[in-house]
A = this chain, B = another copy of it.
Amino acid sequence: MIRRQRLSALAGKLGGEVRGTDPLVRGVRTLEEAGPADLAPFTHVRFRRLAETTHAGAILCPPALVARAGRAKSAAIWIHPEPWVALATLLALVRPPARGGRRVHRTARVAKGVVIEPGAKVGARTRIGPNAVVCAGSTIGDDCEIGPGAVVGAGVEIGRRVRIGPGAVVGSDGFGYVASGDKLLRIPHVGRVVVEDDVDVGANACIARATLGTTRVSAGARIDALVQIGHNAVVGEGSILAAQVGLAGSVRLGRGVQVGGQAGVADHVEIGDGARLAAKAGVIGDVAPGETVAGYPARPRARWLREHATLARIAAPKRGRR
């Protein structure tokens, strides 16, 4: 939440021009999640559908997207030459809602050295290992197990029967910057992390907080040690990520996706239901449901194998010596 103010007041401070009405703005949310009191950024043509159907009271966009933004039901448009620069400044003003007291269920078992901050909730029969940290406003459901030294970040929502491994960090800051002249501005990450029921997160794994919106690990997903999940990524139900996998920002994995160890997926890539990414794959484009890819750049596994066999044949010494 930010201090409630007119859209024109924001533009007055941060630059740009307002078209349409001049609504009171109280929050900054994604096009999907925004309501009439929210400002929503629309910064890439990839999101044109969402811009047309958003319920946001105001849309922030660059000049190139004004025509698209005009199709939204919401009347107000804030045109800014560098919307992410304006956002970086604006998001630094976002404050979390006031927190109530801690609510730790009487059947929860909290080990020594654990820090539970104000506004956090811990469910029934949940066990929290020594020296873990449960930050302000986070929620942990029933029957969870939080490992020693793990960190559940501010406002993170964790379902039931979830296991967070020792040293894992759920809700670290996302890694997002915007160039402003010769400086690199840090974009404050004010979004959420939702970890649904029956998820396992391995030791020292990291799940980043969304910029706006939500980083989501869906029900039954299994994440091994030292995995990195970038801001705004979505891991589908029952997907399995082996150790040291990295998902960049806004990656979307479907249901039942299997990702081999040390594989990586580039930002905004979509992986269809049931797809398999081989160990060490470097996936830079979308993968269709059920497909198996390997190598870097990742390609269908059969093709990858054939290319390797072809190269080996061509490069073999003439008389078959090795």
Contacts and interface: CB of A to CB of B under 8 A. Distances in A.
A184 B166 CA distance: 22
A54 interface: no
A-side binding surface: helix, strand, loop or mixed? loop
Given A175-B243, A307-B312, A153 B166 contact: yes
Interface in A124-183: 129-131, 133, 135, 147-149, 151, 153, 163, 165-167, 169, 172-173, 175, 177, 183
A127 B33 CA distance: 31
The residue in A279, A295, A300 that gathers the most chain B C-beta atoms within 10 A of its C-beta is A279
A4 interface: no
Interface string A244-284: 10101000000000000110101000000000000110101
Nearest to A244: B246
A267 to B, nearest CB: 9
Interface size class on chain A is: 35 or more
A13 interface: no
Interface string A173-210: 10101000001101000000000000010111010100
A309 to B, nearest CB: 8
A112 B136 CA distance: 13
Contacts of A282: 262, 279-280
A228 interface: yes
Stoichiometry, copies per complex: 3
B228 A243 contact: yes
A236 interface: no
A322 B310 contact: no
B261 A244 contact: no
A166 B172 contact: yes
B303 A322 contact: yes
A148 B117 CA distance: 12
A246 B261 contact: yes
Contacts of A261: 228, 246, 248, 264, 266
Interface in A281-322: 282, 284, 295-297, 299-300, 302-303, 306-312, 314-315, 317, 322
A182 B241 CA distance: 18
Interface of A: 111-113, 115, 117, 129-131, 133, 135, 147-149, 151, 153, 163, 165-167, 169, 172-173, 175, 177, 183-184, 186, 200, 202-204, 206, 208, 220, 222, 224-226, 228, 230, 238, 240, 242-244, 246, 248, 261-262, 264, 266, 279-280, 282, 284, 295-297, 299-300, 302-303, 306-312, 314-315, 317, 322
Given A203-B206, A279-B284, 7 more contacts: A135-B148, A184-B240, A243-B246, A244-B264, A262-B264, A309-B315, A310-B315
